[in-house]
Chain A
Amino acid sequence: MTSPQTETLSGAQIVVRLLERQGVRRLAGIPGGPILPFYDALSQSTLIEHVLARHEQGAGFMAQGMARVTGEVAVCVSSSGPGATNLLTAIADAKLDSIPLVAITGQVSSALIGTDAFQEVDTYGLTIPITKHNFLVGSTVELLDVIPRAFRLAASGRPGPVVVDIPKDVLLQRIEISIWPAPGVADSAPAPDAELVATAAAMINAAERPILYLGGGVVHSGASSLAVELAEKASLPSVMTLMALGAMPVDHALSLGMLGMHGARCTNLAMDECDLLIAVGARFDDRATGKVAAFCPQAKIIHIDIDPSELDKIKTAHVGIRGDVKAVLDVLVAQVSARLRQTWLSRVAELKADHPLRMPGIEDPRSHYGLIRAVADCLDDEATIATDVGQHQMWVAQAYPLRRPRQWLTSGGLGTMGFGLPAAIGAALAEPQRTVVCFSGDGSILMNIQEFATAAEEEANVKVVLMNNYSLGLVFQQQTMFYGERIFASKFKGVPDFIKVAEGFGWQTLDLDQADDPVAALGKALASRGPMLIHASIDRREQVLPMVAPGAANKDMIGG
């Protein structure tokens, strides 16, 4: 049927239009053969800005940075074959941290699929285990269904990545189109079971030593302030997973900070004593629980999660509530009674006083903790903090005063070195008014160093604080602690001159090692606009402490 509004458009133009209608205003990617029709159509878009990454993994993490700070579905694009395989790590990372992402990959023409054509790879098969869902688009008209669905799936329930693999002929084929589908939006979550919520409220009211255990789901569902309200009303000491940092300000009176492998002793000891654990949007990850059988051994468990497969997966809950965390907390807050819990709170205060997180050197900006503190002192809560993976990541998780949900970007589940810089760039482009600081290590930064070029090109307001210990520090620490000090393949013999490298990419630089007044120099560098590398040498023998040895119980911590 032709009507006055009928247009004849190529598949590529349809994808661009659908992305525009979805509200996408920025995406990251790298062009190449089969995706070129899409790029040709994108060049005509006045609404969507393209960020040209220098490696597809960088594009994937930039999209993640955008999604993590905004909570909206973000998009990355690659060509077929090596373009798509380069995206895989960023997609897998998004799966484990539940980040809403739509990855659009070009594919060889339908007729060539299965012939080992140039740059053909089975993107569909490769991405099955690392996505929420994936599509190999069979025809141009299917795009009208698949693209909005991809957005709906990425955003619905527990968020996650969706791959849309589009053969070149599907992008080139022109079809007539007169009616556009509605943009894909998140399905509303099923209402929580009222009876279960009432039982949970009664359990909280009856508990003597409850602890609130907040996970990344609290941030994803926008429930942080409700979680704080619940904690305050029922006097619940609260712990956060790595992914939840910022959900409750760390300096809140009820906060016990991060739990688990590198949490404070007081935090893990309090959990050891609790009689009720209220897990909210958390998944009992092994880095959080330590030896599961010894995790909160005296506690009954209330587990609230939007993903039913998380309930009873690791620990059987006494009450498992499937639902959007925000919706559940909303009801729960109203049903719990206000209590002071003086005995329990004073016991927790005692544990805090006796077993605090020890951060030696916190006053010295040339030490690891001191540098993190000095950076924090130069900034306010509007700053966004990203990390790479390693010791520096754990030190920042321990020492940075995170106070705002979506302030904190870190690769939690996959623990991907190379995450930090591109994620920080994506965050800075999505929220240009903020200063984005990426703490990195000399190992991690090299894993996506090429994105220095993207940051310079985009003038992204990113400050990389490079904590250079001339080694793969966390590996060095593990070999020191658990492998009889047999240090192997973790000490770098050749280390690049990072200042020169950054300058070569057009970055401003500050070498704190050379600064007479490091605090003043830091303040100036962080206040400047645009990409800036701040380099600081760190003693390689410094360790992340305390630590729960892999497989050990959380109460048996080493050091600290």
Chain B
Amino acid sequence: MNSITRSETRALAHTVLELDVNNHAGVMAHVVGMFSRRAYNVEGILCMPVGDGATSRIWLTVNEDARLDQMVKQIEKLEDVLAVRRHGAEHEVFERLEEFFR
């Protein structure tokens, strides 16, 4: 991504989504496929197992878009998604990662 598009992207409002999911091989494909098949870009993605590893948490940062409400409803319908929480762009999870992307 060149610097111009990068700063343009940043100008758009972002939403951070926090998903609790079952931890198995296909979950990530189900979640990101929901975005990719609508040509809806996922700007950032982060996933780690939680607790005993039966579930994972996925963090996504996406552009705020008229389709976002529909996206969230669709993600909530996924069998392996246990919960979806929406946060503002100010959520620190991706901010703290910034240093790894310099």
The reply on A128 being an interface residue by CB < 8 A is yes
A309 touches B70 (CB 8 A): yes
The reply on A125 being an interface residue by CB < 8 A is yes
| Complex Cα spacing A307 to B25, Å | 26
A128 touches B29 (CB 8 A): yes
A309 touches B26 (CB 8 A): no
For B87, what are the chain A residues with a Cβ–Cβ distance below 8 Å? none
Contact of A308 among B26, B73, B79 (CB under 8 A): B73
The reply on B74 being an interface residue by CB < 8 A is yes
B69 touches A128 (CB 8 A): no
Min Cβ gap A143→B in Å is: 16
A309 touches B73 (CB 8 A): yes
| Complex Cα spacing A450 to B74, Å | 38
Min Cβ gap A111→B in Å is: 16
A153 touches B33 (CB 8 A): no
A128 touches B30 (CB 8 A): yes
Min Cβ gap A46→B in Å is: 33
**Beyond A128-B30, A133-B79, A153-B79, 18 additional pairs, beta carbon < 8 A:** A125-B29, A128-B26, A128-B29, A128-B33, A132-B79, A133-B78, A133-B80, A134-B26, A136-B25, A136-B26, A307-B77, A308-B73, A308-B76, A308-B77, A309-B70, A309-B73, A309-B77, A313-B70
For A312, what are the chain B residues with a Cβ–Cβ distance below 8 Å? 69-70
The reply on A129 being an interface residue by CB < 8 A is yes
The reply on B37 being an interface residue by CB < 8 A is yes
A309 touches B74 (CB 8 A): yes
The reply on A124 being an interface residue by CB < 8 A is yes
7 contacts between A and B (CB under 8 A): A128-B29, A128-B30, A129-B33, A129-B37, A132-B79, A136-B26, A309-B76
| Complex Cα spacing A197 to B79, Å | 28
Min Cβ gap A293→B in Å is: 15
Among B26, B76, B78, residue most surrounded by chain A Cβ atoms (within 10 Å): B26
| Complex Cα spacing A153 to B25, Å | 19
Please name the residue on chain B nearest to A309 by beta carbon: B73
Report A's interface with B, CB cutoff 8 A.
124-125, 128-129, 132-134, 136, 153, 307-309, 312-313
Contact of A124 among B26, B37, B80 (CB under 8 A): B26
Please name the residue on chain B nearest to A124 by beta carbon: B26
Number of chain B residues whose Cβ lies closer than 8 Å to a Cβ of chain A: 15
For A133, what are the chain B residues with a Cβ–Cβ distance below 8 Å? 78-80
For B30, what are the chain A residues with a Cβ–Cβ distance below 8 Å? 128
Among A125, A128, A132, A312, residue most surrounded by chain B Cβ atoms (within 10 Å): A128
Please name the residue on chain A nearest to B78 by beta carbon: A133
For A313, what are the chain B residues with a Cβ–Cβ distance below 8 Å? 70
| Complex Cα spacing A260 to B15, Å | 37
Among B25, B33, B79, residue most surrounded by chain A Cβ atoms (within 10 Å): B79
Min Cβ gap B31→A in Å is: 10
For A124, what are the chain B residues with a Cβ–Cβ distance below 8 Å? 26
Min Cβ gap A465→B in Å is: 38
| Complex Cα spacing A129 to B80, Å | 14
Min Cβ gap B57→A in Å is: 21
Min Cβ gap A411→B in Å is: 21
For B69, what are the chain A residues with a Cβ–Cβ distance below 8 Å? 312
| Complex Cα spacing A312 to B69, Å | 9
| Complex Cα spacing A124 to B30, Å | 10
Min Cβ gap A113→B in Å is: 11
| Complex Cα spacing A133 to B76, Å | 13
For A129, what are the chain B residues with a Cβ–Cβ distance below 8 Å? 33, 37
Query: Residue-by-residue, is B1-41 near A (CB-CB < 8 Å gives 1, otherwise 0)?
Result: 00000000000000000000000011001100100010000
Min Cβ gap B75→A in Å is: 9
A-B pairs, top 6 by smallest CB distance, nearest first, are: A309-B73, A133-B79, A128-B33, A309-B74, A129-B37, A308-B73
For B25, what are the chain A residues with a Cβ–Cβ distance below 8 Å? 136
| Complex Cα spacing A457 to B66, Å | 53
For A308, what are the chain B residues with a Cβ–Cβ distance below 8 Å? 73, 76-77
| Complex Cα spacing A132 to B30, Å | 11
Min Cβ gap A358→B in Å is: 39
Query: Residue-by-residue, is B47-81 near A (CB-CB < 8 Å gives 1, otherwise 0)?
Result: 00000000000000000000001100110111110
For A125, what are the chain B residues with a Cβ–Cβ distance below 8 Å? 29
For B33, what are the chain A residues with a Cβ–Cβ distance below 8 Å? 128-129
Min Cβ gap B78→A in Å is: 8
For B78, what are the chain A residues with a Cβ–Cβ distance below 8 Å? 133
Min Cβ gap B8→A in Å is: 29
Min Cβ gap B71→A in Å is: 9
Please name the residue on chain A nearest to B24 by beta carbon: A138
| Complex Cα spacing A309 to B25, Å | 25
| Complex Cα spacing A308 to B76, Å | 10
